[in-house]
Structures are given as C-alpha cells and as structure tokens.
Amino acid sequence: MAGLTKVSAAAPPVLDIDPFATRYLENPYHFHEVLRGAGPIVHIPKYDMYAVGRYAEVQSAFADWKNFSSAAGTGLGHVQKGSALRTPGPIVEADPPEHTKLRSTLNRILSPAVIRGWRDDFEAEAERRVAAIVQRGEFDAVTDLVEPFILRVLPDAMGLDDEGRENLLPIGDLTGNALGPRNDLFIESERRVEPLLPWFNSKFERAAMLPGGFGEKIWQASDTGDIETEKVMPLIRTFLRGGIDTGVSGISSMIWLLACNPEQWSALKAEPKLVRQAFDEALRLETPAQSLFRTTRGSFAFAGCQLDDDVKVMCCLAAANRDPAQWADADNYNVKRSTIGHIAFGTGIHVCIGQMVARLEGEAILAALLRHTEILEMNGPARHKLSNTARRLAALPIRVGRKAN
C-alpha cells in the first residue's frame, strides 16, 4: 500500500492554515495546491487534524479502513465523543464487519440489473425536460434543469411521494456543511433545515414509501433480518442526503465545463459516445464531495510520518483528483481523457454505491442536450454556493440554440 510503513518516523509537517476559511472555499484549487505542496500528510493545528491531498496518500488512506476508520464519522466532528456525539450513519460511518453485511445486502437491492431497469425512465425524463427547456433559448441550468431533473428521478426510483421534494435541496446543503467545523455556514444551513425535519423524518416510514421503489426493498430486507429495523430510516435518509446534492453538483459542473470549453463541446458533438467520459471528467475536476474524513486507529507510520491515535484525517478527494503527479494537464477539462482511477466516488470499501445511478443521470442529461442543441454557451457569470466540503454551483446561466449559417 503506497505510503504506509512500519518504521517509526517523525511527526507530519505542520500546515498552519484554515482550510475552511472563505478564501479557500471560494478558490479550492489554491487550497489543493497548498495542501499537496506541504507534504504527503500534514498536521493542521487549528482543528488538531491531519490532512492528505496527494493522490497516492488519499488512495492509501481510503484503502486502509483498519488504520483510517469511518466509525468516528466521515466529517470533522468526532461522533463518538464531545459536542459532535451522535449515532453514526448506518453504512457510510460503519467499519467491517458491520459495514460488510449491510453493504452486501444493499449491493443486492441496488444491483446493476436493477439500475439498468431505470434507464428508460431516466432517459425519457431527461429528453422531456431538455426538449422543453431548449425552446426557451436561455435558462439557468442548475435551477431550471438539473435540480428539477434529479428531484424527479432519484426520489421516484426510491418510491418517495411528490410532496415537499424540494426540501431535499437545503438538506443536501446541510450535509456538505455539517462535515466541516461548526462555523457560520454550518449553523446557517442547520437553521434552514430545522423546520423541515418533521417532513424529512416522516417521509421514510414504511407506510409512506410507494410500492416498487428501492425504499420499499430496504424495508423488506428488515423483514428477513438482513437489515436491522432501526437502521432502515437512517439508511434511506443517507441515500437521499448522499445522492441528491452530489448529482446536482456533478451534472451542473459538467454543463459549466462544456459551456466554458467550446472545443470540448465540439469534440462531444463529433463523438457523442464520449458522454460518460465527459461526465466522469467533470467529476474529477469539480469533485462534488471535496473532502471526507477518517479517524486514525492506533499510532502508526504513514508516508514516512508518525501519526497519533484517534485523530481526524481530512482526505481531500478533490486535491487528489487534480494532483499533477497523477494526471497530465491536471487542471484541464478534456473529454477524451481516460478518467479511470478518479476518486470522486471514493475508493475502497465505501466506494459510492450510487455511482451507476449518478452516471445514468449525467449521461441522460448530456445525451439529450447533444440531441437538442448545437450551441451550449455561458449567458452570464456562474455562481458557486459556499460550502465546507461540497463543490456546488448555485447559478449557471446558459444559452442554447442553432448555429447561424
């Protein structure tokens, strides 16, 4: 495993910055460079945490769940003690053996065959929405296209009824902020979500799930004892918290990158089979979940540095996905690049269980855009939402249409 050694070593170098300072959240690329440049692993005193941003070490940490545990939470807060004390998420914040059994049950419920069965519905929905919106010539790709599309297809597949689906957007926003420190961003998004909690907590009861969705199948797995009953609702919530905002982020970023890089749009028009690569390349460059955390278990040497026990480790997937040691022209969007090995979906035992779903969504929207418009260009400045750990556009003014002869 890259980076992990048994010899005793020196403490990691100190990086005396605040990764959650507004200037770094506004310009994450600068933060990535600082982090990668400071060493294979660093100590950040402000949060008494370690941080990794180079590709090899992020990969190693995610591959090594014994030393880099998820059970103390995948955010900065240590969920087993202090003010962040809470029940850990049933899958994403579980280590083996607990994780293994649940993951295999969920892999069965969300098997590739099940997801392939959703393709026609996702494509029909993308076709309908894109066909309607290109008639307008100008629109906001985030609020007029991507958000309504994702809020339709994923909750439908789960079996959620229509009422209040838009609440999933501020809840997704809170998810990204709550992984960071308890700063103004976190507190403000928590305040917005507070009144929505009764809705969120009631929607996933057994009686509320529509028949045929994978929410119902998760409930059924509790009848056979494959999933403990008390884990069902938190699990269903995890799917929506983890699947909505990330999907909106990835697809919006892809449209943004294509609109800003006309030669890449032209390359896709010439070779539409590159849609999957175009989506994955956008995830690499604009990684939706920029950072996730692990917690050291025991004191051990890693990348030539001696680590202390029970310390949070910020694993910056976004910095790894732009590491020039791993990617040629790392900061350029290139739809012809082989994106194999990007870690926007994580890696190791917790690798995203919804990645096929996300790709289905991204490909459906992009294929429909390719069919319906010759031009895809910016129609004003894009705006990002500030978030402690998510990279997410809030506004993306786009112009579409036919080329003038």
Q: Which is nearer to ligand HEM, 140 or 280 (by Cβ)?
A: 280
Taking alpha carbons only, the member of 25, 55, 19 closest to residue 391 is 25
Site for ligand HEM (CB under 6 A): which residue of 250, 281, 369, 382?
250
Taking alpha carbons only, the member of 61, 21, 23 closest to residue 42 is 61
Would strands 375-378 and 300-302 be described as parallel, antiparallel, or unpaired?
unpaired
Within positions 10 to 69, which residues make up the interface with ligand HEM, using CB under 6 A?
Answer: none
Q: How far is the CB of 353 from ligand HEM (least distance, A)?
A: 5
Site for ligand HEM (CB under 6 A): which residue of 233, 236, 292, 370?
292
Q: How far is the CB of 233 from ligand HEM (least distance, A)?
A: 14
Q: Which is nearer to ligand HEM, 134 or 179 (by Cβ)?
A: 179
Site for ligand HEM (CB under 6 A): which residue of 5, 47, 56, 103?
103
Packed helices 147-158 and 229-260: angle between N→C axes, nearest 10 degrees: 150
- Answer yes or no: are the C-beta atoms of 302 and 308 closer than 8 Å: no
Q: Which is nearer to ligand HEM, 134 or 350 (by Cβ)?
A: 350
Tokens of 361: 């969504």
Stretch that binds ligand HEM, among 20-28, 119-127, 132-140, 348-356 (CB under 6 A): 348-356
Burial class (CB within 10 angstroms; exposed 0-12, middle 13-18, buried 19+) of 86: exposed
Q: Which amino acid is at 84?
A: A
Within positions 228 to 247, which residues make up the interface with ligand HEM, using CB under 6 A?
Answer: 238-239, 242-243, 246-247
Q: How far is the CB of 214 from ligand HEM (least distance, A)?
A: 8
Residues 6+ apart with CB under 8 A from 197: none
Q: Does 168 bind ligand HEM (CB under 6 A)?
A: no
Q: How far is the CB of 287 from ligand HEM (least distance, A)?
A: 7
Q: Does 344 bind ligand HEM (CB under 6 A)?
A: yes
d(CA 314, CA 13): 15
Q: Which is nearer to ligand HEM, 79 or 289 (by Cβ)?
A: 289
Q: Give, in degrees to the nearest 5, the angle at Cα 240 between 111 and 386.
A: 130
Q: How many other C-beta atoms are found inside a 10 Å radius of the C-beta of residue 180?
A: 24
Q: Does 353 bind ligand HEM (CB under 6 A)?
A: yes
Q: Which residue is nearest to ligand HEM (CB)?
A: 354
Q: How far is the CB of 75 from ligand HEM (least distance, A)?
A: 10
Within positions 252 to 271, which residues make up the interface with ligand HEM, using CB under 6 A?
Answer: none
Give the 3-state secondary structure of 169-229.
HHHHHHHHHHCCCCCHHHHHHHHHHHHHHHHHHHCCCHHHCCCCCHHHHHHHHHHCCCCCH
Q: Which is nearer to ligand HEM, 77 or 250 (by Cβ)?
A: 250
Stretch that binds ligand HEM, among 21-29, 130-138, 327-335, 346-354 (CB under 6 A): 346-354
Alpha carbon 163 to chain centroid, angstroms: 25
- Answer yes or no: are the C-beta atoms of 157 and 214 closer than 8 Å: yes
Binding residues (CB under 6 A) for ligand HEM: these are 70, 74, 91-92, 103, 154, 238-239, 242-243, 246-247, 250, 283, 288-289, 292, 344-346, 350, 352-354, 357-358
